[in-house]
């Protein structure tokens, strides 16, 4: 087994229920929460045309820690001419096994959202 095969994965997938399609071009930030509870910014990205994003472990290795992804929901929905109730959607989650797969779907509409740990 190669060294890369033991690395974990962090992936996101956004579904826009108002449009009935993937949430492409949704900007978000990812931060790690340090021991003092402060956010350590890891980067700013956008979902691809399929509404997906996968952490590049060669740039940012996944660690056992608490993370926070913040989706720029208002900017995304306004760009598409949709109403928007939520400004930003912040999701904090724990990585306990850095070699595991952590998949975070976001199901988004102008007046609601849901998320869960996917596989």
In a domain, 86, yes or no: yes
Number of domains in the chain: 1
Residue 99 lies inside a defined structural domain of this protein:
yes
Residues ≥6 apart with Cβ < 8 Å to 42: 29, 30, 31, 32, 60
Specify if 2 maps to a domain.
no
Summarised one tens digit per residue, pLDDT across range 25-62 is: 999 999 999 999 999 999 999 999 999 999 988 888 99
CA-based radius of gyration for the chain: 15
Q: What is the CATH number of the domain that holds 78?
A: 2.60.40.180
User: Could you report the per-residue pLDDT of 54-110, keeping only the tens digit for each?
Assistant: 998 888 899 999 999 999 999 999 999 998 999 999 999 999 999 999 999 999 999
Please give the residue range of the domain that contains residue 14: 8-115
The predicted model scores a pTM of 0.91
């Amino acid at each position: 087994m190669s060294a890369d095969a033991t690395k974990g994965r962090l992936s996101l997938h956004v579904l826009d229920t108002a449009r009935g399609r993937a949430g492409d071009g949704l900007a978000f930030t990812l931060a790690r929460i340090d021991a003092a509870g402060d956010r350590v910014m890891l980067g700013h990205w956008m979902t691809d045309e399929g509404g997906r994003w996968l952490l590049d472990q060669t740039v940012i290795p996944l660690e056992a820690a608490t993370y926070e992804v913040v989706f720029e929901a208002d900017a995304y929905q306004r760009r598409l001419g949709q109403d928007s109730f939520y400004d930003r959607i912040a999701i904090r989650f724990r990585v306990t096994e850095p070699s595991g797969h952590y998949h975070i779907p976001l199901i988004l509409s102008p007046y609601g959202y849901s998320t869960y740990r996917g596989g």
